[in-house]
Structure 1
Amino acid sequence: MNQNTPPEQLTGKLEVDEPYTEAAGLPAILKSFKQVLQGTDAARGWKALINMNQKDGFDCPSCAWPDPDGHRSRIAEYCESGAKAVADEVMTSHTASPVLFQRYSVNELLQKPDLWLSQQGRLTQPLILKPGEIHYEPISWDDAFQLIANQLNALDSPDEAIFYTSGRTSNEAAFLYQLFVRMFGTNNMPDCSNMCHESTSVALAESIGLGKASVKYEDYEKADVIMIMGQNPGTNSPRMLTPLEEAKRNGAKIIAVNPLHEAGLLAFRDPQSPRDMLFGAQKMTDVFLQVRINSDLALVKAMCKILLEEETKNPGKVLDQSFIQQYTSGYDAFVKSLDQFELNDLAAQCGLTVAQIREAVDLFKFTPKLIICWAMGLTQHRNSVETINEVINLLLLKGSIGIEGGGASPIRGHSNVQGDRTMGVWEKPKPEFLDSLKKVFNFEPPRNHGFDAVAAVKAMHEGKAKVFFGLGGNFAMAVSDTNYTADALKNCKLTVHVSTKLNRSHLHHGETALILPCLGRTDRDIQATGVQFVSCESTTGVVAQSHGVVDSVSNSLKSEIAIIGGLAKVTLGVKADRVDWDSLVAKYDRIRDLIEQTIPGFDNYNEQVRKPGGFYIPNGPRVREFKTNDGKAHFTLNTPNHHDLETGELLLMTIRSHDQFNTTVYGNDDRYRGVYNERRVVFMHPNDVANLGFKEKQVVDLHSHYNGKQRTAHKFIIVPYDIPVGCAAAYFPETNVLVPIDSIAEKSNTPTSKSIVIRVTPAVMEDSRQTVDQ
């Protein structure tokens, strides 16, 4: 086994059943309660659950799906994924205390699966791995801060440090973090957006002037048609199913575009609806377009061509000519560009018929109330920015931006990943933001662009960056090219991770390594002036307060804000005097006052955030104000690409199982897809299995080739599945090793984790078995 990759052992317990045809229902209820109660006492677990996503509770630490603007269920305003995330955080039966690290060396911990690492529980006090040592050991907070400060201040340039941020970080912590980093002197602030929705941010900024959703929560219930592209809501954002069901009951039609028939796209049985529980699930999808991987651009372009044909037949009834003329530019060039594409060719590229695409277009050709939502199925390809721009082209044709029941709706993956960017966590800050920092804090922020996630890995690998500081997350497993990334971290003089639980990134360490344990979203945060709250931004741009409700597992834990403030005081020297860090840590209202002074749209922040449910921050496209260079929304010219696979090649996309969120693994089951007790599986079409000479449950190795180098993910079990011929799917982060560090989306630099050309070969096994037991 390569010491950089997760253990490659199979469980030997794989069971495969029929995939689910509906999401949620009684199994979701039982799984939610089992997950929470198995690791904690009933009172603590129940207290956390009933306060999650309430207006006076805490924001779910899982996905960024918005809370309802109005009424919320007092029984369960959460989903199975949220319950798993809370269970992962509130469990108290185990803690990853220093005793664990006395027992296991770093190399021994590397042999453990990610699930085992997470199951060790919450970290309880700061730990250090000294040069040449093999065990982490305790260190005081003061000594940890001083060590980090010494290493940072010894660098030849501030740009030799990398400051990473996870989406879990609150608005207040993110703002304070970027302030500290820029006062230190660098814009090297990669964040988890770089790996997921950066393509969205780039595309939307180009086309409509803001890299965020143009819809509100209530728009879903008012839409006539909702098109869901490259997204699996039943697993990745299950609470989205509730407004989708409400939309269906209001008469909306749903178009699903996905290579896999996911349970949440087929039907939903609301666990809180007596009607659903007694009489059956609500059918969700009216038209399912099972596209080949990364053919979405061709599909949307075909839809645009059909709309133009229909407008010719029904002048003034299909396209919103008034909107196009008043609010857009580039329409004529866009229309002309469509002439070079043939419908039959576009449909064939998708693996569909023209009739199937026309059936979908017929649902929205006469209504502007169209919402298109998407997730990483669209954002992690080389041409992702172009694909999303084509989605906007379609919405512009219909005049579906800036109206009730219509708009663009990227579905962000991690809670508050969008808020972090709003607070200034970005390697490419806008000059206006830096000017505002200068005015409010009286210092000159760095102006050069910093490293994004991929560039940061390369800089560490090449010795150009020597200190890595991670505020949350599991960087080593989140980034592509696992071995390359692990080696990059090992090149550092110092690696620091602010974390709640043990993960694999702690084990790919620099010469010196620190783990700093912090409070989680569920924990009560008590500072010098009393109990504090933080705030987060949802994917629809709502900023709301979040209060921890349970006592922390250790008195040694600090909040992220306290960690940042303590580190800034020690590191910045005389520059630290420009900010009263102790005062900000003592009372978070003071941080919000500074945010209000610095960032537009946060007027009366402390007052507004205390309103039940929070407030919407300004959103230009929502009111048809486009902050582009000409003040208009832009039609763009985009060309579909072809994946010309050679004989024996497949196009692989990485996916999540139902028992994980991002890189956090909660279990080895993927219930909705009918896979149990195993994660190292590869889904292939039965024809591909046969044509390549394999059989069901055969153990194989997956290989990618890029620029003359082969990368291999060992020991995956073949599961025949309903996926387009020539396509395959497997879970990340196990398959991140196959994604080359240089294979990135154009303009956004996002790793191409959803379109990896692979070859499959029989696995090289220690024994003679080539299949698992049936």
Structure 2
Amino acid sequence: MPFSKREIIKRNVSARGPEELGNLRVSAPKDFAAGLPAIGKTLEHSFREMGLFRPFQALAKMNQQEGFDCPSCAWPDPDSPSKLGEFCENGAKALADEATLTQADAALFSRYSVEELSHLTDYEINKLGRLVEPMVLHSDSLHYEPISWEDALSLISDHLVALTDPNQAVFYTSGRSSNEAAFLYGTFARALGTNNLPDCSNMCHESSGVALSETLGIGKGSVTLDDLYGADLVIVAGQNPGTNHPRMLSALEKCKENGGKIISINPLEEAGLIRFKNPQRPNGLIGGGTPLTDLHLPVKINQDIPLVKLLLKGLLERERGGAGVLDREFITNKTLGFQELEADLDSYDSEDLLSRTGLSSKEIEAAIQMLAESENIIICWAMGLTQHKNGVETIREYVNLLLAKGSIGKPNAGTCPVRGHSNVQGDRSVGIQHFVDAALNERIEKHLGFVSPDKKGWDVVESIEAMHAGKVKIFMALGGNFLKAASDTDFTAAALEECELTVQVSTKLNRSHLVTGKTALILPTLGRSEKEGKGEGHYLTTENSMGRVSRTRGVLKPAAGNLKSEPELIAELGARHFGAQHSVPWLQCAQDYGLIRKYIDLVAKGFSNTSERSKGKGYDLPNNARAGDFSKLPGGRAKFTVNTLPDHGLAPDEFLLMTIRSHDQFNTTIYGLDDRYRGIYNERRVLLMNPEDMQELGIAEQEVVHLSSTYGDEVRRAPNFRVISYAIPRGDVAAYFPETNPLIPIHQFADRSQTPISKSVRIRVEKTS
């Protein structure tokens, strides 16, 4: 069914959604995570969305061997998962959200136009339910209409055929996709002739990948789950595991039981790192739980580099005094650049560094002492380190600390970037990348039979800018909520609307389905928890945050009988577009996931006999940093680096904003309107501010303010936020994303990784009267 040119009408959709305020209620922040309240919330969400019996069927199999992976975060499973369940409150919320009995069907889209739907909140849009049939939004319509799978795939192919250059197409990937789906998706794009494969890594841990590749020769973390149990010291920097990776708290609890210590480094003190009430233990239900953090360092936003330099200077001073606190043998035999690092550290004044951090000398001395006493150190981090202009340099400075202590390439020590989405690391491992890898291209030509493009593609920022400039005709998203995940919401919305066709492969409705190209498709797909098929080989695989590949097999009846899995959908599109004579047997891949895995083994680096080895516990991909092998780096050794101090150039009336998640959300998905760990209820448009800053500005508790950011001649605004006094360093403020994403300029991102500066945005706080 060739697409026809239709009249283009203007749709008055809202890219931001409502910006009015609700009835905010505030209480004191909690000093513990999990416990009985977590059990209550788990049951509440599960029963409300899934009914009475389905929650037990699904939760019993989530994160279990031969069960299915949680659709939320990528935290690894223990080798022997608990018989009581290996899931957390937020994982249960993610499951309930995916497996809801509510459906967003054709009747819903007939009743409401895209304009009307766009004026709902993101929370309300998500609550409309599971997408259950393919839908099309024609250029001359305000309503989505049903479309057959055959016509939907033909529509995409016809638009692709009409391109004058394959680089007019962009293929975005969310971290929810399986290895099989991501591999086929990347194969489709490259067979078309483009490396335009932006993915959610670009917006979160791209800085980690760049920094670790430069210093250790691999863009992944080096530790295993067991390593955390036996570490002498775990540093948790720029991360809130109690909300974003709650199962990590169990690992930290084991570390404490084995005598390990924990330092948390974050502008906000988070409940999960204060005390953990493990719901699977008696003291977690009726007792006081386990205190976790031994030392909390409330560093000012993005002042980690001066902090780490202070710690290194303190260790170096003790080393020069004969204390022997550095691993000289490791430094001599395994690293390069230590003398340059020493000279850099000597060039800084300790008092100036201390002033920048906002910490006390007593706190710094306590941290130095803990480091000096520890041999096996693990550093964990998340977006609190990566989403800054100097995100790459910040992570490199933390790596300097590990290298100086010799805490790389041995048990119970190393790097631990905690990935946010359930298979974002696996997507990258199987080839979702916009940059060119000559060795990968050679394997593609040898085993898939076509020549892969050798021109670098666009990442997320570059794709948005290209769309905005009219260089992109087709945008396709494999999962995710691209509009609300990206920075500069209004700019991104205008960019999407420039496309001829936007395609969203999704389980749930979100705002990216409403702010679209001239023509738009919604292609509904199976969720992680749903059965893929009856065949023995009809399962999928994922890679967790620590590099282990294992199978995932859903157990629930699909939300609708005509849903396609992501691999099936992509394979059928490949067959439709390239035809039966193409070198890739697309239709066979749709019917046999084992065949896809055979191709992954041949093409993707480190994969081997995946269909067999992914059983049970799964298998670990090769990791040179874990093995202490740095031979492929220049000079054959790990690299110390010299990193400069951050300079935000704040005007006297500007604050530094960090965007954060509430406890009732995962990434852009809003499960509810409460953030109970921080004591915030029924409202998301809030600004956390130091009470002394509030007093200086004459701002009362819960007073309404407007926010603005000025970069160059551009002023961006976000109205109506209630100010809450909170324990945050002076000059720093915090607010939820995606509500504050409109303040982040598209052209402000981390050097070399191009990750948006979501954690350090210069803003002004404007009183409304």
What's the TM-score bracket when you normalise by the shorter of the two chains?
Answer: over 0.9
Q: Using the alignment, how far apart are the partners of 2:171 and 2:17 within structure 1?
A: 28
Q: For residue 273 of structure 1, what is the amino acid of its counterpart? A: R
Say whether the 8 Å CA contact 1:221–1:243 is kept in structure 2.
Answer: yes
Aligned 1:433-472 pairs, distance under 5 A: 433-472=440-479
Say whether the 8 Å CA contact 2:103–2:132 is kept in structure 1.
Answer: yes
Segments of 5+ residues of structure 1 without an aligned counterpart are: 764-769
Q: For residue 40 of structure 1, what is the amino acid of its counterpart? A: M
Q: Using the alignment, how far apart are the partners of 1:251 and 1:278 within structure 2?
A: 24
Q: Using the alignment, how far apart are the partners of 1:273 and 1:665 within structure 2?
A: 29
Aligned counterpart for 2:364 among listed residues 349, 354, 357: 357
Say whether the 8 Å CA contact 2:277–2:283 is kept in structure 1.
Answer: no
1:530 is displaced (CA, Å) by 6.1
Q: Using the alignment, how far apart are the partners of 1:476 and 1:416 within structure 2?
A: 20
SS of aligned partner of 1:394: helix
1:273 aligns with 2:281: yes
Q: Which residue of 2 aligns with 1:605?
A: 610
After alignment, is 721-730 or 11-20 more displaced? 11-20
Q: Using the alignment, how far apart are the partners of 1:131 and 1:601 within structure 2?
A: 45
1:569 aligns with 2:571: no
Q: Which residue of 2 aligns with 1:388?
A: 395
Q: Which residue of 2 aligns with 1:645?
A: 650
Partner deviation per Cα, 1:76-116 (whole Å, 9 max, x = no partner): 20001100000001111x10001100011011011000111
1:243 aligns with 2:251: yes
Q: For residue 355 of structure 1, what is the amino acid of its counterpart? A: K
Q: Using the alignment, how far apart are the partners of 1:10 and 1:159 within structure 2?
A: 40
Aligned 1:64-83 pairs, distance under 5 A: 64-68=74-78, 70-83=79-92
Q: Using the alignment, how far apart are the partners of 2:12 and 2:390 within structure 1?
A: 32
Aligned 1:558-637 pairs, distance under 5 A: 558-573=564-579, 577-610=582-615, 612-626=616-630, 627-637=632-642
Q: For residue 730 of structure 1, what is the amino acid of its counterpart? A: A
Q: Given the superposition, is the C-alpha separation of residues 685 and 189 from structure 1 closer, same or farther in structure 2, using an over 3 Å criterion?
A: same
Say whether the 8 Å CA contact 1:208–1:633 is kept in structure 2.
Answer: yes
Q: Using the alignment, how far apart are the partners of 1:414 and 1:385 within structure 2?
A: 20
1:278 is displaced (CA, Å) by 3.3
Say whether the 8 Å CA contact 2:16–2:489 is kept in structure 1.
Answer: no
Q: For residue 237 of structure 1, what is the amino acid of its counterpart? A: H
1:23 aligns with 2:33: yes
Q: Using the alignment, how far apart are the partners of 1:500 and 1:314 within structure 2?
A: 60
1:585 is displaced (CA, Å) by 1.3
Aligned 1:314-329 pairs, distance under 5 A: 314-315=322-323, 317-329=324-336
Say whether the 8 Å CA contact 1:4–1:482 is kept in structure 2.
Answer: no
Detail structure 1 runs of 4+ shifted over 6 Å in the superposition.
none
SS of aligned partner of 2:636: coil
Q: Which residue of 2 aligns with 1:117?
A: 125
Aligned 1:416-431 pairs, distance under 5 A: 416-431=423-438
Q: Which residue of 2 aligns with 1:766?
A: none
Say whether the 8 Å CA contact 2:31–2:271 is kept in structure 1.
Answer: yes
Say whether the 8 Å CA contact 1:8–1:714 is kept in structure 2.
Answer: no
Q: Using the alignment, how far apart are the partners of 1:705 and 1:265 within structure 2?
A: 35
Say whether the 8 Å CA contact 1:496–1:514 is kept in structure 2.
Answer: yes
1:9 is displaced (CA, Å) by 3.7
Q: Which residue of 2 aligns with 1:557?
A: 563
1:2 is displaced (CA, Å) by 9.2
Segments of 5+ residues of structure 2 without an aligned counterpart are: 1-10
Q: Given the superposition, is the C-alpha separation of residues 314 and 278 from structure 1 closer, same or farther in structure 2, using an over 3 Å criterion?
A: farther
TM-score, normalising length: structure 1 = 0.96
SS of aligned partner of 1:577: coil
Say whether the 8 Å CA contact 2:19–2:719 is kept in structure 1.
Answer: no
1:761 aligns with 2:769: no
Q: Using the alignment, how far apart are the partners of 2:222 and 2:436 within structure 1?
A: 22
Q: Which residue of 1 aligns with 2:51?
A: 41
Say whether the 8 Å CA contact 1:349–1:642 is kept in structure 2.
Answer: no
Q: Using the alignment, how far apart are the partners of 2:121 and 2:449 within structure 1?
A: 48
Percent identity, aligned pairs only, is 49
Q: For residue 532 of structure 2, what is the amino acid of its counterpart? A: D
Say whether the 8 Å CA contact 1:209–1:633 is kept in structure 2.
Answer: yes
1:504 aligns with 2:508: no
Q: Which residue of 1 aligns with 2:383?
A: 376
SS of aligned partner of 1:402: coil
Aligned counterpart for 1:101 among listed residues 102, 105, 109: 109
1:531 is displaced (CA, Å) by 6.7
Say whether the 8 Å CA contact 1:700–1:762 is kept in structure 2.
Answer: yes
Q: Which residue of 2 aligns with 1:200?
A: 208
Q: Which residue of 2 aligns with 1:85?
A: 94
1:647 is displaced (CA, Å) by 2.4
Q: Using the alignment, how far apart are the partners of 2:595 and 2:537 within structure 1?
A: 14
1:152 aligns with 2:157: no
TM-score, normalising length: structure 2 = 0.97
Q: Using the alignment, how far apart are the partners of 2:536 and 2:439 within structure 1?
A: 35
Q: Using the alignment, how far apart are the partners of 2:725 and 2:12 within structure 1?
A: 28
How many pairs were matched up?
758
Q: Given the superposition, is the C-alpha separation of residues 553 and 646 from structure 1 closer, same or farther in structure 2, using an over 3 Å criterion?
A: same
Q: Using the alignment, how far apart are the partners of 1:204 and 1:5 within structure 2?
A: 36
Say whether the 8 Å CA contact 2:15–2:515 is kept in structure 1.
Answer: no
1:366 aligns with 2:370: no
1:44 is displaced (CA, Å) by 1.1
Q: Using the alignment, how far apart are the partners of 2:18 and 2:99 within structure 1?
A: 29
Say whether the 8 Å CA contact 1:5–1:737 is kept in structure 2.
Answer: no
Say whether the 8 Å CA contact 1:699–1:716 is kept in structure 2.
Answer: yes
Q: For residue 632 of structure 1, what is the amino acid of its counterpart? A: R
SS of aligned partner of 2:262: strand
Q: Using the alignment, how far apart are the partners of 1:373 and 1:101 within structure 2?
A: 44
Q: For residue 251 of structure 1, what is the amino acid of its counterpart? A: G
SS of aligned partner of 1:536: strand
1:714 is displaced (CA, Å) by 1.1
Q: Which residue of 2 aligns with 1:706?
A: 711
Say whether the 8 Å CA contact 1:522–1:549 is kept in structure 2.
Answer: yes
Partner deviation per Cα, 1:275-300 (whole Å, 9 max, x = no partner): 33233121111111001000011111
Q: Using the alignment, how far apart are the partners of 1:555 and 1:48 within structure 2?
A: 19
SS of aligned partner of 1:468: strand
Aligned counterpart for 1:485 among listed residues 492, 496, 517: 492
1:3 is displaced (CA, Å) by 4.6
Q: Which residue of 2 aligns with 1:767?
A: none
